[in-house]
Amino acid sequence: TLLGQILKDPNGPTPSASTVETLNKGTQTNDESSTPFWDTYDTINQLYLELGNRPEMRNHYRGHKMSLWLNLIPQLHRPSEGDDTSMRHHHFQEEGDQYYDGSVREQSLQRPHLVHVIAPPPS
């Protein structure tokens, strides 16, 4: 199998020719059918190659978990104009220095000021 070949010890003993022939006789398969075609990635089907005892093509790698991190959490964390969400929302409940590593900055409950910079036109 593909995984067996990858995990095999490269410094281990090599089988003799007769042993290899015997193993190949017992496991003769069509290589084209046992090795899936790994096409280029497209965002619609989201196909990926799952490596295991029998490699196979699958789609949507952990779709629900990825959707949570790529869609839901950014939407919940996005600040909106006029939103009165307290900055306390972004802080840990534990405030002691023992919960942090390194130097600890003073916590502020005020929203950071957004500075809008307009770049001058290129000359």
Task: Answer yes or no: is 23 within a domain.
Answer: yes
- The domain tally of the chain equals 1
The residues, any chain, with a CB within 8 Å of residue 57's CB and separated by 6 or more, are 36, 37, 38, 47, 48, 49, 50
pTM, whole model, 2 decimals?
0.35
Name the 3-class secondary structure at 59. strand
Q: What pLDDT digit, counting tens, does each position of 23-65 carry? A: 555 555 555 557 788 888 888 888 888 888 888 888 888 888 8
- For residue 49, the enclosing domain spans 2-59
User: What is the band of 120 on the pLDDT scale with cuts at 50, 70, 90?
Assistant: confident
Task: Answer yes or no: is 15 within a domain.
Answer: yes
Q: What pLDDT digit, counting tens, does each position of 60-106 carry? A: 888 888 888 888 887 776 666 555 566 666 666 777 777 777 877 77
